[in-house]
Amino acid sequence: MKAIKIDVEKQDVYDLEIESGITAMYTAISCTCVDRVVLDDETDLWLDDEGLLHEPQPTKFSIAGFDRSFAGNGLICGYNAEGQTISTTLTAEQVRPLITFRGNVPTTIEPTIVISF
């Protein structure tokens, strides 16, 4: 499956071929739990779900058009109408200019208050 890795250690964005499945994502992102961010109607960004919990926190990055930073490595993949993860149609050359590496600026985790009735 064709993916695009946003590599915060190398501060680079490059095409990557991985096997389908969650285990391959864990390996590509260097984590044990992932979180999905929908970028558009055919593209997902997969991240380390525990990125902000690491000490020290990993380097952050942002994507043009999104008002937040993401912690740790990212993996861009496609998805189909059934919600299955598939190869991305994008290239690293298309994505690279949209990525800004933010460094190791610590980010605090805001507590979430859940009210149920």
Evaluate whether 87 touches 1 at the Cβ level (below 8 Å).
yes
Give residue limits of the domains in the chain: 2-103
Q: How confident is the model at residue 36 (pLDDT cuts 50, 70, 90)?
A: very high
Mean pLDDT, rounded, for 93-112: 76
Q: Which residue has the higher pLDDT, 56 or 40?
A: 40
**Residue 109: pLDDT over 60:** no
Polymer length in residues for the chain: 117
Greater pLDDT, 109 or 104: 104
Instruction: Look at residue 114 in the predicted model and tell me its pLDDT.
Output: 54
What whole-number distance in Å separates Cα of residue 48 and Cα of residue 52? 9
